[in-house]
Amino acid sequence: MPLSEVHSKKLEEAIKALHTRGHYEAFMEDPRSYPNDGQKLEELLGTNFSMMGEDAKDFLESSEKSPFTQQMLGVSYPFLNTSTLANQAEKAFEVWRKTSREERASLLMGSLDRIAKLFPLMAEATMHTTGQSSIMAFQASGPHSSDRALESLAIGYELLGRYPKHADWHKRVGKQEIHLKKNFVAKPYGIGLSIGCSTFPVWNSLPSIFANLISGNVSLHKAHPSAVLPIALVLNAIREEAIEQGFDPNIVQLAIDPKEGPRTKELAESPMVKLIDYTGGSPFGEYIESLKGKITFTEKSGVNPVLMRSSENLNATLGNLAFSLSLYSGQMCTAPQNIFIPAEGVFENGELIPFDVVVKSLLKAIRGISEHEKIGPGTLASIQSEQTIERIKTSSNSGAQILLEASSFSDSHFPNSRNSSPAVLLVEEDEMDLAQSECFGPIAIVVKSKSFESAVKSAKDLAAEQGAISCACYCIDGKLNEWVADEMNQSFVPVSFNLEGYIWVNQAAAFSDFHLSGANPAGNASFGQVEFVSRRMVWLGNRYFQKPE
């Protein structure tokens, strides 16, 4: 199908945004822009979720359970064995690989329209699988994911025009004029496997799925067993659009685990799988990266530092930081963990505020959120997995001094919510064992540092060794900040300086911010980068000798 005028214009805007890198959102953030006139989550509970265009016989119930209500969702999904999935994918690939970039873009733009209609339902599904608050679930799985998906699509669309389709090559050799016609083609690899995670089942996978599809690859999605529904809705929308546009819906397929346990390795090791996108813990991520003959895109664990030095308004600074730590109870790969505060204290407009006072104010700001009846539950939301609750306990029993104890809090809307206020621990810079690895969840570690300079060095070294995705620096000395940026950038971590108000270090905006650098142990992928898409296709130039006239 040719690209409609509306889609063509939107795609053009998106491509422009890739280059200007200012604020751009193709999908508005406000839930009120998306009236829910479709299905509600409760209508899906306890049902078989059919995938469009698939005549599945076996349905398996997932282990999805709402972190807010502790109720099982009871949704069952079609189960296909790995060879069936691979064979269906190969068949779909045979046609899809030969489509033009316009055909691919048309299908993907149409899919995005369909997905947008599902935003309210996806928000509910995301909330009750990940434990995200309603608004975060809406934005993360809805407009933010779709913006990132469009970003992949825009990058890929532009890429496919990187070289002319045909070129004439003339060269005089002695008396002969050699003329070759050259055709440049971008060949996809085949099947791309994306491995979903439990905390951001759509946001972390949709950019990969779109990157695969725009490049001419087909997509096989292995959903996390505790967060299937949000991504199943999305995959189904793409399948619907594929059918509508006359393509095999198996260009995207959902793979769920059998009763016996996970089959991620079985899928990843399948010789037919050529590309793998993975989000999750480092040990499995390293296994994925080690697979021979696969192109991999990983997002693994990391330890994100906060560097404190000076502020014009310490309360505003600490308020911003406290919110960053509290948002979705730190269950974000971009959430800060290690807060480096110099032992001598932090400057506020030239005045040195002692370490203890700074820490006290930080704790107050955190409690101001977690103990606030309305803001608390809406910000901290719920804890996705029992392991995170365990992790809070383990960290708190690590021997580090406890500055603030974690505890569950009452959520008036969800009395059974599994939740926790943040634990804040204290370590010295030269005894920072606890701070050396990721403590995923509502766990913040104050590192009492010898100096700001030594804190920067520690954070830089730790990022190089353990990985980091984000770094917040609060320092109002521009010259010093140049140095901080250069130091942290050498460990391939970007720095956000002096954030205040409604913008937090956890956030990365499509079309402007890359997500991960791909160059430290936190992962080898970089969302929003040209290479996130270009590595999924291979350019070849065929040469045709032309007889002299």
CA distance 537 to 528: 16
Residue 161's CB is within 10 A of a number of other CB atoms, namely 11
Regarding 519 and contact with a second copy (CB under 8 A), the answer is: yes
CA distance 76 to 398: 40
Regarding 542 and contact with a second copy (CB under 8 A), the answer is: yes
Nearer to a second copy, 57 or 292 (CB): 292
Q: Which of 114, 182, 367, 457 binds a second copy (CB under 8 A)?
A: 182
Q: Which of 50, 82, 451, 512 binds a second copy (CB under 8 A)?
A: 512
Regarding 545 and contact with a second copy (CB under 8 A), the answer is: yes
Residue 493: strand pairing partners = none
| End-to-end alpha carbon distance in the chain | 39
Amino acid at 43: E
Residue 346: strand pairing partners = 353
Class of residue 343 by CB neighbours under 10 A (exposed 0-12, middle 13-18, buried 19+) = middle
Q: Which of 82, 183, 436, 437 binds a second copy (CB under 8 A)?
A: 183
Distance of CA 496 to the CA centre of its chain: 18
Regarding 14 and contact with a second copy (CB under 8 A), the answer is: no
Regarding 189 and contact with a second copy (CB under 8 A), the answer is: yes
Regarding 350 and contact with a second copy (CB under 8 A), the answer is: no
Regarding 99 and contact with a second copy (CB under 8 A), the answer is: no
Length of the chain: 549
DSSP code at position 374: T
- How near is the Cβ of 93 to a second copy at its closest, in Å? 10
Q: Which residue is listed with tokens 């409604």?
A: 502
Regarding 397 and contact with a second copy (CB under 8 A), the answer is: no
- How near is the Cβ of 375 to a second copy at its closest, in Å? 15
Using the contact rule CB under 8 A, the part of the chain among 13-21, 105-113, 223-231, 429-437 near a second copy is 13-21
Interaction mask 298-327, a second copy, x per CB under 8 A: --------------x---------------
Q: Which of 4, 16, 20, 47 binds a second copy (CB under 8 A)?
A: 20
CA distance 155 to 133: 31
Nearer to a second copy, 452 or 504 (CB): 504
Distance of CA 403 to the CA centre of its chain: 31
Residue 177's CB is within 10 A of a number of other CB atoms, namely 12
CA distance 381 to 384: 9
Regarding 526 and contact with a second copy (CB under 8 A), the answer is: yes
Regarding 529 and contact with a second copy (CB under 8 A), the answer is: yes
Contacts of 73 (CB under 8 A, 6+ apart): 44, 45, 46, 62, 64, 65, 66, 128, 129, 229
Nearer to a second copy, 22 or 399 (CB): 22
Which runs of E-coded beta strand occur in 206-249? 218-222
Nearer to a second copy, 54 or 500 (CB): 500
CB 187 within 8 A of CB 163: no
Nearer to a second copy, 270 or 384 (CB): 270
Regarding 349 and contact with a second copy (CB under 8 A), the answer is: no
Q: Which of 163, 284, 287, 409 binds a second copy (CB under 8 A)?
A: 163
Q: Which of 5, 55, 173, 260 binds a second copy (CB under 8 A)?
A: 173
How does 263-298 read in b/e, with b if 16+ C-beta sit within 10 Å? Answer: bbebbbebebbbbbbbbbebebbeebbeeeebebbb
Q: Which of 168, 386, 405, 461 binds a second copy (CB under 8 A)?
A: 168
DSSP code at position 23: -
Q: Which of 46, 178, 246, 390 binds a second copy (CB under 8 A)?
A: 178
Q: Is 331 helix (H, G, I), strand (E, B) or coil?
A: coil
Regarding 185 and contact with a second copy (CB under 8 A), the answer is: yes
Nearer to a second copy, 6 or 540 (CB): 540
Regarding 378 and contact with a second copy (CB under 8 A), the answer is: no
Regarding 340 and contact with a second copy (CB under 8 A), the answer is: no
Question: What six digits make up the tokens of 369?
Answer: 């959120």
- How near is the Cβ of 419 to a second copy at its closest, in Å? 25
Q: What is the 3-state secondary structure (H, E, C) of 200-218?
A: CCCCCCHHHHHHHHHCCCE
Helix and strand tally (H, E) in the chain?
Answer: 18, 20
Q: Which of 9, 16, 23, 360 binds a second copy (CB under 8 A)?
A: 23
Using the contact rule CB under 8 A, the part of the chain among 75-83, 118-126, 134-142, 170-178 near a second copy is 170-178
Regarding 291 and contact with a second copy (CB under 8 A), the answer is: no
Chain contacts with a second copy (rule: CB under 8 A): 19-23, 162-164, 167-171, 173-174, 176, 178, 180, 182-185, 187, 189, 312, 481, 485, 489-490, 492-503, 509, 512-514, 517-519, 526, 529-531, 534-535, 538-545, 547
